[in-house]
């Protein structure tokens, strides 16, 4: 019976202590890496802190916690580290833990950084058997081991956006189970996983020498009501700090600290409960002593230098962006001017070429006007005789008429072997067709278009081909223009006749003659 009562009492005490597994502090805003390893080394200085807290001083065996923490950074602040050891005693239960934290800080932009942290440690849970009251003191040694330990991990993340810090951590990540006894009944202590979220914003005044910081923290665990902290801290960097905090399901805290020297700060926190049992619980007291390796002036000089470098970097970045914008604008303006100039030159070339073509056409018309009239008369005479032969079939037996037809056939030879009854492409002999002509060879080209861009010339050539017209392209090296031609003749008269007749009525667009010597 004695053993059964003892086991029940130890089990109840263990269950009661479950909610207090993570040591409770009231000055944790100066040692945030205790809860979140990702916040190790964020200040860029090395410091050591001693904490001692006595909770519920009006109750015998109330929680009493002591801690020693060292925090620093290296690799120009990209790596943070901290070492943390504590002793947390509640009546006959005593827990001792040692952790080492590592954090890596990634600077995403000048104002945004992301940190990840991992903490590993060992926790030993022991029972003070001398504090157990039993008729037979030897009974407890037969069923309960004096202490048990286990390995533990902490995980954390932190996001900093200028003066705002948001953190999330999972202490006691592995949720290890510490077993004291299994016979005649299980006695164990379960390290349940916790979840901690924190947020802090720093309003800075007087050149960062005065900082007002709203702070909030939420702690939660399975089977335990979540706890919310909400407070305000006013830090006078050269002199000390004052603050106040409300903690749900607990009470109110007042914080005060004074800088004893440039390296040493002494802090105190006073808690008083606001729940139904406040008068029975009594008050809580917490003391903090922090030593910084390096004076505040050195830290201030370093911070000012960092700010100066950041400001210089930001100015250089602005100057580079401004220079790039100016160069881009100049390039755009220059490109527009060059394009406009090129288009104007192209236009002038085309106008000059058209003017030259007009002058050549006018000169050739003046020199060959008589021949063109004679050729026209021959064509008209030929047509009349054809009509006469068609209306009077007997004329074909007349020798005189046959002679006339032979004469006309001679005239046709003079006109480029033109055959009105020929059903070939464009009704012209094959040697005059564009596909059978050496592009750019000397002669007279019946031309449908002239372009400065070859793609446009190709487009017209393909369009004419789709209409059943034989068209090709050649480039004049004297002006680099592309000519789309349909026929080529050895004499100007033949070319002019084809142009005037619209390729015997096959083409209704504008045509002109390109002369290649």
Please report which confidence band the pLDDT of residue 14 belongs to, taking 50, 70 and 90 as the band edges. very low
CA 174 to chain centre: 36
Stretch 276-282: mean pLDDT, rounded?
65
- Give the span between the Cα atoms of 482 and 384, in whole angstroms: 41
Domain termination residue (choose one: 260, 292, 324): 292
Compute the chain's Rg from CA coordinates. 52
Q: pTM surpassing 0.95?
A: no
Q: Which of 234, 257, 292 marks a domain boundary?
A: 292
6 or 227, which is more confident: 227
- Whether residue 303 is contained in a domain is answered as no
User: If pLDDT is split at 50, 70 and 90, which confidence band does 408 have?
Assistant: very low
Average the pLDDT over 427-456 and give the result: 91
Q: For residue 340, name the pLDDT band (cuts at 50, 70, 90).
A: confident
**pLDDT higher than threshold 50 for residue 500:** yes
pLDDT at 31 over 70: yes
Distance from C-alpha of 315 to C-alpha of 460, rounded to nearest angstrom: 57
Q: The domain that contains 507 carries what CATH number? A: 3.30.70.1070
Percent of the chain at pLDDT > 90 equals: 39
Q: What are the pLDDT digits (tens) for 207-217? A: 778 999 999 99
More confident residue, 401 or 435: 435
Answer yes or no: is pLDDT of 342 > 70: yes
- Residue 261 located in a structural domain: yes
Separation CA 214–CA 203 (nearest Å): 9
**Cβ neighbours of residue 329 under 8 Å, at least 6 residues apart?**
none
Rounded mean pLDDT, 255-278: 87
Token pair for residue 180? 């004291």
Rounded percentage of the chain residues whose pLDDT exceeds 70: 75
Judged against a pLDDT cut of 90, whether residue 199 lies above it is answered with yes
Confidence of residue 420 (pLDDT cuts 50, 70, 90): very low
Above 50 in pLDDT, residue 15?
Answer: no
**426: part of which helix (H) or strand (E)?**
none
**Model confidence pLDDT, tens digit, residues 147-169:** 778 899 999 999 999 999 999 99
- State the average pLDDT for the chain: 79
The model's confidence at residue 306, banded by pLDDT at 50, 70 and 90, is confident
pLDDT (mean) for 297-313: 71
Residue 377 resides in a domain:
no
Does residue 314 form part of some domain? Answer: no
pLDDT computed for residue 392 by the predictor: 45
Q: What is the domain-level CATH number for residue 170? A: 2.40.160.40
In a domain, residue 7? The reply is yes
CA distance 248 to 24: 13
**pLDDT band with cut points at 50, 70 and 90 for residue 133:** low
What's the confidence (pLDDT) of residue 377? 47
DSSP 121-147: EEEEEEE-GGG---SSGGGGGGT--SE
pLDDT at res. 249? 78
Pinpoint the alpha helices (H) of 76-149. none
Residue 363 maps to a domain: no
Of the three residues 292, 322, 347, the one that is the final residue of a domain is 292
Contact 187, 11 (CB under 8 A): yes
Q: Residue 337 has what pLDDT? A: 80
Residue 269 has a pLDDT of 94
Residue 428 has pLDDT above 70, yes or no: yes
**What is the extent of the structural domain holding 250?**
2-292
Residue 384 is assigned to a structural domain of this protein: no
Whether residue 75 is predicted with pLDDT greater than 80 in this model: the reply is yes
On whether residue 327 sits in a domain, the answer given is no
How many domains does the structure of the chain reveal?
2
């Amino acid at each position: 019976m004695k053993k059964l009562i003892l086991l029940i009492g130890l089990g109840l005490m263990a269950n009661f202590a479950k909610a207090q597994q993570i040591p409770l502090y009231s000055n944790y805003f100066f040692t945030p890496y205790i809860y979140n390893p990702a916040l190790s080394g964020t200040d860029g200085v090395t410091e050591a802190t001693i904490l001692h807290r006595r909770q519920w001083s009006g109750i015998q065996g109330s929680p009493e916690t002591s801690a020693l923490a060292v925090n620093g950074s290296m690799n120009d602040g990209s790596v943070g580290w901290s070492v943390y050891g504590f002793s947390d005693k509640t009546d006959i239960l005593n827990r001792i833990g040692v952790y080492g934290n590592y954090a890596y800080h990634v600077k995403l932009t000048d104002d945004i950084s992301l940190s990840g942290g991992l903490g590993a440690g060992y926790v030993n849970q022991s029972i003070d058997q001398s504090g157990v009251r039993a008729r037979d003191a030897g009974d407890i040694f037969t069923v309960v081991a004096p202490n048990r330990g286990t390995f533990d991990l902490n995980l954390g993340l932190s996001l900093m956006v200028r003066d705002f810090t948001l953190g999330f951590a999972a202490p006691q990540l592995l949720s290890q189970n510490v077993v004291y006894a299994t016979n005649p009944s299980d006695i164990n202590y379960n390290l349940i996983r916790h979840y901690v979220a924190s947020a802090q914003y720093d309003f800075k005044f007087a050149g960062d020498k005065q900082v007002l910081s709203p702070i909030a923290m939420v702690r939660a665990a399975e089977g335990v009501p979540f706890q919310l902290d909400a407070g305000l801290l006013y830090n006078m960097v050269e002199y000390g700090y004052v603050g106040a905090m409300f903690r749900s399901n607990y009470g109110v805290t007042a914080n005060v600290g004074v800088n004893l020297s440039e390296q040493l700060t002494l802090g105190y926190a006073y808690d008083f409960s606001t729940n139904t049992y406040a008068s029975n619980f009594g008050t809580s007291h917490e003391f903090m002593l922090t030593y910084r390796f390096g004076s505040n002036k050195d830290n201030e000089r370093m911070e000012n230098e960092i700010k100066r470098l950041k400001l210089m970097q930001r100015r250089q970045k602005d100057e580079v962006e401004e220079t790039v914008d100016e160069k881009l604008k100049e390039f755009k303006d220059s490109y527009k001017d060059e394009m406009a100039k090129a288009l104007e030159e192209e236009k002038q070339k085309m106008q000059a070429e058209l003017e030259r073509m007009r002058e050549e056409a006018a000169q050739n018309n003046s020199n060959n006007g008589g021949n063109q009239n004679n050729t026209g008369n021959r064509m008209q005479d030929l047509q009349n005789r054809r009509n006469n032969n068609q209306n009077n079939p007997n004329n074909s037996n007349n020798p005189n008429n046959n002679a006339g037809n032979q004469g006309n056939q001679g005239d046709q030879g003079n006109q480029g072997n033109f055959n009105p009854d020929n059903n070939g492409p464009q009704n012209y002999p094959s040697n005059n067709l564009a596909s059978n002509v050496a592009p750019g060879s000397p002669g007279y080209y019946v031309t449908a278009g002239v372009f400065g861009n070859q793609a446009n010339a190709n487009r017209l050539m393909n369009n004419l081909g789709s209409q059943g017209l034989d068209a090709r392209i050649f480039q004049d090296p004297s002006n680099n223009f592309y000519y789309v031609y349909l026929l080529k003749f050895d004499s100007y008269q033949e070319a002019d006749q084809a142009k005037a007749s619209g390729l015997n009525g096959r083409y209704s667009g504008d045509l002109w003659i390109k002369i290649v010597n």
